[in-house]
Structure formats: C-alpha cells, structure tokens
Amino acid sequence: MIEVSDIVKSYMIDGQALHAVNHASFTVRKGEIVSIIGHSGSGKTTLLSLIGGLTRPDSGSVLCDGTDIWRLDDNSRSHFRNRNMSFIYQFASLIPTLTALENILLPTAFGDFSGDVRAYAEALIERVGLKEKIRAYPSHLSGGQQRRIAIARAFINRPSVVLADEPTGDLDEETEQDIIRLFQEMNRELETTFIIVTHTREIAAQAARQLRMSNGILTDAA
Ligand SMILES: Nc1ncnc2c1ncn2[C@@H]1O[C@H](COP(=O)(O)OP(=O)(O)O)[C@@H](O)[C@H]1O
Ligand SMILES: [Mg+2]
C-alpha cells in the first residue's frame, strides 16, 4: 500500500551536501504498524515528510495505494493527502484561536466530508480522554493535552495512513500507553496503516515491524 523506492533528500549546508535521507526503500502493507527508531538528527522527520507529501524528494518515488504522490501537481497532492493521510507532528500544531473541538474539525473545511463530522469529532475527543476540554483553547491545555487533541484531529478524515512523528514525545508513560493503545484499536477497527517515528525502544517494540534510521540510512532493525 505504501511503497517508498530509493528516495533521497539532501540539504546543502555551507557548500557541503548533507544526506538527510540517503536512498531509502521500504514497503508497508495495508493495516501494518511500522516503527522507525533512530537518534535525533538521523533523518526520521525528513523521511516522514517525504512520504507524507510535505517535502519533495531529490529523487525516488512514493506510491500510496498505487498513486505516485510526487507526480501529482500541488493541488492534487494536497487533495490526496487530505483524503487518505494524516500527519501527527512532532511539535505542537494546534491553531491557538480555535477551541479543541474546532481544531479537530479543521481538516473537514478542506474537503468533502460525509456524515456527521461533529459527532465523530466529539467521539474522538472522548477517545483521547479530553471530553471536558471540548471548548478549551490550546493555551489552556497542557503540552500533553494539546498533543492528544492533535492525535484526535489526525483521525477525523478516517485516514488510511497515519504518519506519526514522535507522537508520545512529551507524554507521561501512562498517557503514552493510552495513545499506543488507541493506535492499535484504530488499526484493528479501520485497518489504518501506521508509520510511527520514535526514539524510544519501548514504543518501537510495540509495532509489528521495526525499522532503524541512522545517518539518513534506513535498515531493518534486527
Ligand atoms: N530544512 C532543512 N534544512 C537544512 N537541514 C535540514 C533541514 N531539515 C533537516 N535538516 C537536517 O537533516 C538532518 C535530519 O533531520 P531530521 O529529519 O529532522 O532528523 P530527526 O527527525 O531524526 O531528528 C539533520 O542533520 C538536520 O539538521
Ligand atoms: Mg524529528
């Protein structure tokens, strides 16, 4: 379902090429949960943004359900992303002037969403344990609570793929487990595919398959 082929992204820094992602290839089947573990600076975020259609690769391709996302024009790629994928960003990404519920509903403003999206948003906020914060603004939420709202938002479009960049980064251990459990439930209920980036071994180990990123090079984690 996701096929990454020989993908490369380099940055020029002081006239030197830095190979953030260096010829990475891998395939993720529909409904699989894959983790990518690696130290800070190893290229994990860059890799996710290449897969998620946010950063254009220098070369290589990304196929998602047969669609070569980097061959689409910008509009089509945004549309494709909105329909099929969700990104959980490493750092806070909520809109400060919108409430928790409005933040979760935000993606529905950019596409044709069917059904009762508001009821679904409320169900999601309940699933991340923040029902009582439905009308709260991000500045009135803790870092971990903001993170959980961003996670709820990632499910509003019922994505087939979730790309999660250190999704449990600033959460306590218990909440961290709740989030992983939620991912596993969504995976079972909706066959959602997950690619989860982490620097924690315990999180990586809960995925069915583990990959490792090291200096831009992706390998199977043995
Ligand atoms: N926009 C950018 N411009 C220049 N260098 C970048 C940029 N984004 C990332 N890098 C560099 O690429 C490498 C990989 O970064 P990143 O993908 O963020 O790693 P990770 O997520 O594993 O911490 C790092 O050395 C980082 O400094
Ligand atoms: Mg990162």
* pLDDT tens track for 26-61: 999 999 999 999 999 999 999 999 999 999 999 999
**CB 46 near ligand 1, within 6 Å:** yes
**CB 16 near ligand 1, within 6 Å:** no
**CB 18 near ligand 1, within 6 Å:** yes
Kindly identify the ligand whose nearest atom is closest to the C-alpha of 39: 1
Kindly identify the ligand whose nearest atom is closest to the C-alpha of 46: 1
Looking from the CA of residue 48, the nearest atom of ligand 1 is 17
Question: Where are the chain's structural domains?
Answer: 2-220
Q: What residue type is 77 in one-letter code? A: R
- Give the pLDDT confidence of 167-190 residue by residue, as tens digits: 888 778 888 888 899 999 999 999
Look over the chain and give the mean of its residue pLDDT values, rounded to a whole number.
Answer: 93
Q: Is residue 194 within 8 Å of 19, Cβ to Cβ?
A: no
Q: How large is the greatest C-alpha to C-alpha distance in the chain, in angstroms?
A: 53
| Eight-state DSSP code of residue 106 | G
The answer as to CATH 3.40.50.300 being correct for domain 2-220 is yes
Q: What is the CA radius of gyration of the chain?
A: 17
Looking from the CA of residue 39, the nearest atom of ligand 1 is 22
**CB 44 near ligand 1, within 6 Å:** yes
Residue 222 has what pLDDT? 63
Cα(200) to ligand 2 centroid in Å equals: 13
| pLDDT of 101 over the 70 cut | yes
- Give the pLDDT confidence of 65-92 residue by residue, as tens digits: 999 999 999 999 999 998 899 999 888 7
Cα(124) to ligand 2 centroid in Å equals: 26
Cα(132) to ligand 2 centroid in Å equals: 31
In the chain, % of residues over pLDDT 90: 76
Count CA within 13 A, CB hemisphere, residue 121: 21
Interatomic CA distance for residues 94 and 200, integer angstroms: 24
